Every structure is written in structure tokens, then in C-alpha cells.
Structure 1
């Protein structure tokens, strides 16, 4: 495992574009940084990014961000123009979009746990339920994907788009759901008795959960590997690099990388 860069306040939300560059947030400092596949250097990509947590790229190269400051979902195009796609549900603010996954059609699953934030301009928990939402591919309809979780956090889908994993960090469990053609979820099944902050998946279907380092489970839910990280908390993880074969790990004030034999999937 190699140190990519450190000196941040709290790193989160790593996401790779189609060239293999990896973007991540320094959430308390309200900025997105970029690791370049060309020169192996980290630079500031964008500032004033709504205290973003989770990030994800769509097929067109747009960067989507869970903008925690005002509980919004942003789309950032390649010219860094921002479009607010979601800012409420049925007249109420969301609790705070935390993580997201985009399916092949362009539909977006958004986890919405509640965490107390000193920088928000509203008091208390806006939405009583801590849910997962689904934004339709045309970005016009926001629906409830599931609401029978305590505090949903990390999420990722399988490459074939048939299964969605959601970590319930407060219940210390990770669940799998079947994805229907219209994006709805069914057949909630316990995947493992371990929660997670962020997560990713590789081309063999292994699931990577975070918290105490990185713990890897095969598609049967069997633990097959633990990667220790010398930080108090490991927040998130993704694959990047030219061949999508480097695991990037955000942990506290730092980002680490590890060359793998498996590959990530986009």
C-alpha cells in the first residue's frame, strides 16, 4: 500500500473517470481534488462544492456529487457548471445525501442518512425516515427505493445492473436488493453482518467494505481478505488508474493506493 497524498482534513467519495483519474473530496475544506493518471500528482479540481461527500461519474463524463451542505444532489459537467438535480422530496429537505450509484440507464440511487452538521442553516432532522431514493434517468422523478434501514450509507451496484448493495452503518449490516427494470428494489437479503461507510466492487463480484481498513467479501458474502489501513477510520474506496486496477482508499487525512490483480468495473 502506498501513500498517494496526505495533509487533508477528512477525505471521502473517491470516484474514477473513464481515463482512470481519481477524484475525491476533502469534505471539511469544501473541495474536490484530482489524482492524475498521467503524472501521479494530486491537484485541486474544484472548490465550494457544497461540502460534497460521495461522488460518481455517469457515462457522459458528468460528475455527480452528494452536496451535504444544503442536502442536495449536484451534477457537475466537464466545464464545471453545476446543476442542482435534487433539493427536496415532497416539500421537505432531505437529511443529507451521502453516497450514490448510477445505473446503466442513468438512474441514480441516493442514500440519505442524517448526521448533525454545524454548517447547515436548518435545525433538526428534516426527514423522519432515513431512506434510499431513486432519481429517474431523465432526472424528473424522485421516488423512495427503500426505507426499512436504520442509517443507509455506502452503496454500489453490480456490473450487470441486477443487484444493489446498501450498507446500513448503524445496524452494522450490509444488504443486497434485486433491481427491477423500472429501478425499483425488491428481495432484501442480508449480505453480511458488517456495516460500511463507502464501498466498491471488482470484476469478480467481490465487495469492498470500509471502516476498520478495507474488508473484502466474495459474492456469497464470505470474508476473503482484510486490508489494514493505519488510520482510525477508512471512509471510502474505489478502483482507478489507467487499467482500472489500482485500489484507492480514502482514510482520515490521507489517500492510499494499492495495485491489485483484480479490476474495478464502471
Structure 2
């Protein structure tokens, strides 16, 4: 396990004091493209995807060992943990969202909209009402690198909401390549990254009690490559993966700081007993850093 110096860049006084350990640990390397970190506190382990290699890997916090969790993984990308402690996964290969039950069996959460196959679900979150929200760009069907080349049956890239009754609805239909998404601490706002826009940006929507979205103004733009995964911390700050590291935005949309990394970042997750372990997937590697702030619960 090697280490990389943690470089926090303060761009606004509201980011002053944000920090953590002096060194980031690289937990694993040698992948083709890492994605979808999700931490399971009950087992003290982290799962993450190595999409082009069609596998999911598992890092054991108690031993430091990394092993294969699932292969083939159906080119799994983003993941989340639901409130019952089950794994929710986006699968490029089978163009669906699945739930791994406690006995290891798989349940399909969504694979079609109005009878047409989804493109390639990318990232996913759960709201406290039990609804599942996911983005559906076409990266998994654009080539055979992260899935299987195919034509889109839907003809566009949308954001979807799956109700507790299993009903699949379009939540937002005006994205080019929707990607990472995250709810605000109070779940009254939803942040969604659009990777393909020029410049790549994050939009913010107001969320009604019934799940209807309104608004959609640009919240923040990317000054290094494109945004990918998005997470929110307990202070309501929005963290987004970009080409030079993680970008941190205040709730008003001001870019207030960055955490620089030596590889292109794809996603992040908060874990550990106090949600102050920051896990970052970046190009071929996975990094972790103990920080002095926590992720939103």
C-alpha cells in the first residue's frame, strides 16, 4: 500500500479548515477504470467496480485485503446501499438496475421504460421514501469497452425514478449525458451531473414530496475535464469527481475548494463508523483519506 500527499486547495474562506490526514492511502491499483465505491459498515468493507474488466472488487477494512466480489459483474458501474443494507447496482451489460438481496440473489429494480430497454444505467441513489433514482446515459452501449455496443431503444438519456411500487418514471428528460447524482441533506434538492455538456456541469432541482422535480438551473461548472460522481457532506457541501481531483461546492454553488489527486477521479463515497473516511475511485486505483468532516447520512 503506497501513499500520496493529500493536497487540499482553498479557493474560498468557507473551505478553510477542511482537511484530514497528511497522506492518502492507495488501497488498490491495476484496474482499467474504477467506479462506484460503496461502503458497508456492518461488514466493514468497500465494494467498487472495475468496469472494463467486468468485475466488482471488495476491500476488507479489517485485513486490508482486496479480492473479487463478483465476476462477471455484467459491467457494473455505480452502486449504492439501501436502507435495508442491500446493494443496489447499475449494470451496463444487462442494461438494468439490480438489488442484491441478503441471501445473494438478484432482484431487477428496473430494466425497461414503457417496454423499451434502458441504455446503460450509470449511477444510483435511494431517497428515504424508498424510491430509487438513477441516471441512464449511453456509455455502456456506445462501444464494447464498458458493455455491449447497441442502438438506444429509448433514443435519449434520462434520469429515472422507481417508486416503491416498482413504477419506473422519467424524473428529468433534458440531459445530454446524466451521470452522478445526490440528494441534499434534507432531500429537498437533487444534484445531477451532466458529463457531456460544454462545460460539464451540475444542475440542481427542487424535489417535491411526491418526487416531482422542478427547476434544474446550473449549480456549478467544471474547470477540469468533466464531472462524474457526486456526493454531499453533512454540512451540505457538494463534492464532485473531476479530472484533477474532487471539487467542493458550497450550497450556494460557489466552488470553494479542491482535493487534488494524481489520477482522473470518477467517484467518491463516505464510509467508516463516523462517515469520515473518504473513498475515491480514480482511473486505475482506489484511494482513501480520513477527513475532519463527515458525509451526509
Coordinate RMSD, CA, aligned? 1.5
TM-score (norm: length of structure 2): 0.85
Aligned pairs for 1:135-214 (under 5 A) are 135-138=162-165, 140-171=166-197, 172-194=200-222, 195-212=226-243, 213-214=245-246
What is the CA distance between 1:41 and its match in structure 2? Answer: 2.8
Q: Does 1:59 align with 2:90?
A: no
Asked whether the 8 Å contact 1:72–1:85 carries over to 2, the reply is: yes
What is the CA distance between 1:83 and its match in structure 2? Answer: 1.1
Summarize the Cα distance change of 1:126–1:224 in structure 2 as closer, same or farther, 3 Å threshold: same
Asked whether the 8 Å contact 1:37–1:241 carries over to 2, the reply is: no
Instruction: Give the unaligned 5+ runs of structure 1.
Output: none
Farther-moved stretch of structure 1 (87-96 vs 30-39): 30-39
What is the CA distance between 1:199 and its match in structure 2? Answer: 1.3
What is the CA distance between 1:98 and its match in structure 2? Answer: 0.3
Question: In structure 2, how many angstroms separate the alpha carbons of the residues matched to 1:36 and 1:265?
Answer: 23
**Residue number in structure 2 paired with 1:252:** 283
Q: How many residues align?
A: 264
Given the alignment, which residue of 248, 260, 267 partners 1:228?
Answer: 260
**Residue number in structure 2 paired with 1:11:** 34
TM-score (norm: length of structure 1): 0.94
Question: In structure 2, how many angstroms separate the alpha carbons of the residues matched to 1:230 and 1:188?
Answer: 32
Instruction: Give the unaligned 5+ runs of structure 2.
Output: 1-23
- 2:174 match: secondary structure: coil
Summarize the Cα distance change of 1:117–1:70 in structure 2 as closer, same or farther, 3 Å threshold: farther
Asked whether the 8 Å contact 2:41–2:272 carries over to 1, the reply is: no
